[in-house]
Each structure stands twice: as structure tokens, then as C-alpha cells.
Amino acid sequence: MAILEDKAAKAISPKNPLDVRDVGISIDATTVSGETVTFITGAVGFARSVSLDKCPILGKRGNRVGSFWRSGQNVVDGSDYKLYSITRGLFPVVVSVTATAGSAAALIENTEIDMEVLFETPSGTKDFVLVVRDKNGATLHGWIAGISTSGPRYTFTVYSTPTGTTQDWNGSTSTFDNSGSMTYEIFYYDTSFSWGTGTILTQEAFFNPHIPVEDQLRDMANGDFAIDYRIGLILYKKATTGTSDTASYRIPTSASSSASSSSRYAIQIDEDTSTNVTYIGWALPGSSTSSAIWRITKINDASSPDMTMTWADSDDNFDNVWVNRTSLTYG
């Protein structure tokens, strides 16, 4: 049996997230944008698996393989977090939870750290997920946006999705008991993966590499999906009858080779002899020319022997559509 080892020949746990950077190798993090993912045709509740074109899928920071946010290694704070003072007994407490849709929030008292500067994400995709647990073990969770402070008390505004469109909790608010003692945990949202619409598959679940795929599919609710970030495998159970969505994510690529190397990228060249303009595009092998995953440059040789080279969007990012090359803005 193959065993992963570090440079000191010590065994590495195969669970995610695995580091993807090495000081002896130059690594780029490349974005795959708008990849079409096709699901089985059928009714709500149909369950299958599908593989992405590229892997592994990186985490949000790009330094390691991504993982489901609720994995234990993503815990960064909580009622009994290991860095709080056991001897002084200064553990944070959940004061109250507002479960009303449109006003979802939690009030936490913490005298040890400044929770606002550590966990607030005012705009964009949220970095952290708050989980609150009542005395009966029922849980609610939501992505943390704004945090307001009043002395050692912090009011967390939470949203039902990482994009922060609806202020609400995930979970059963009707059965959650916010009248008794409560605890909390905060998780880092360590994934670069996102759906284009997110209507067919709506809720990520934990992928367990030690359980057969069919057994995991049986336990899924409609709309659930689980990702094996190492190999790009997605298990899913549909929430609608839809048959496709687009996916965006980041993958590691070697930075030691030239950006125009044919061994690393597929290349498209369009030479217009009537205008003396040449377009060159690079993307990973197998990329669709209609997906926003191309790096495109425009070479203008109209004033020979002088020549100018400009880039789509004035940068060399892999986020343009090759078939739209003539209408892009270059600089």
C-alpha cells in the first residue's frame, strides 16, 4: 500500500487538506472558470457522481488542497477552543441567538480576543462560518459578514450562503432552543470552488474517502453535494430536474515552465493578415474556447518594423473567452 511521506520520511495523514507548495518547486494557482458540469437527466433526488476536468482543487488561500468547511482541521475558534485560558476560566459564551429570517444573528461574549478584526468579512465571499449549538445538540450555521462590538460582546450578522445574499441561518430554526445554554464554533471556509447558479446542488456535505460512494449517496438530502478535493470527484443528489451548471475553482500548476510552453498549455492563434493583428490564447489542455479560462494577447504589427503587444483586460489572467477575442479591451 502506498503511503504519503514528508521529507523526513514520516507518514502524512491522507485526509484533506494536504499542502501543495514546496520550496523546491515553483507553483502557480490557476483559475478554472465556467467549466460545464453535466448531471444525470432525471427527477428531483436523482443521485450520481461526476468528475471535474482538473484537480486537485485548491483551498481559498491557494497554499493547500481545499476541504469541506466543517472538517475538524478548519476550526479556528469556539466555546472550548484550545487556546483559551483553562487556568483563568475565561471561555467565551453565547449570550443569545436571533433565529428570525432576515435578522439572523448571534451575540457572543469574549474577553480574550477581538473577534471583529479576526472574523469579519464585510464584502465579497465570506471567510468564516459560525455554528451555534443549543443544549439539546441542535445546530444552526451561517456565513459571517459584519460584526459589531460593545465592550467584550460581539454581534455576528450571518448569511445562509458564502456570497452573503440572504441574512438567515441554515438548519431548523423552529426546533432550535435559544432559551438555554449554547455553545459555538467558527470554521474557516477553505475552498476555491463555487457553482455558477447553485440551484441544482445547493449544500456542500462532507466527503468521506473511507465510505463507498453508493453509501454516501444514500445518506444525502436533495441538493447535497460532496467533493473529493484531491481528485475532483463530486457526489450529488439533485434538488431540481436541471442537468447542468458551471463550476469555477483554482488548481496548482507549475510556474517553472514558460507561459507559452506547449507542454503546459493548449494554444490558439488567430492571424488577421488584412489588419496585421495576431491574437494568441493560452489555456489548459481540453479547455472550451467558449469558457472564460483563456489568457489572451494581441500583437499589432501594422506599423512594421515596430510591433506592440497588449493583453486582454490589461493583465495576463486566465479569465477571458477565446471566441470573444476581437471584442475584448486590450492594454
Could you tell me if 255 and 28 are in contact, meaning their C-beta atoms sit under 8 angstroms apart? Answer: yes
Q: Where are the domains of the chain?
A: 27-68+196-252, 72-188, 257-327
Whether the pLDDT of residue 194 is over 80: the answer is yes
Give the three-state DSSP class for 223: coil
Residues 162-184: tens digit of each pLDDT: 999 999 999 999 999 999 999 99
Average pLDDT over the chain reads 87
In this prediction the pTM is 0.72
pLDDT at 259: 40
Summarize pLDDT for 251-268 with one digit per residue, the tens: 987 544 434 444 467 899
Beta-carbon neighbour count of residue 8 at 10 Å? Answer: 5
pLDDT at 27: 61
Q: According to the model, what pLDDT value does residue 62 have?
A: 85
CB of 176 closer than 8 Å to CB of 97: yes
As a whole number of Å, the CA-based R_g of the chain is 24
Confirm if 129 and 142 have CB atoms less than 8 A apart: yes
CA distances from 177 to 80, 99, 110, 140, 169 (A): 20, 10, 22, 11, 14
pLDDT score of 243 more than 60:
yes
Summarised one tens digit per residue, pLDDT across range 278-316 is 999 988 887 889 888 889 999 887 766 567 889 999 988
Query: Which pLDDT does position 138 carry in this prediction?
Result: 96
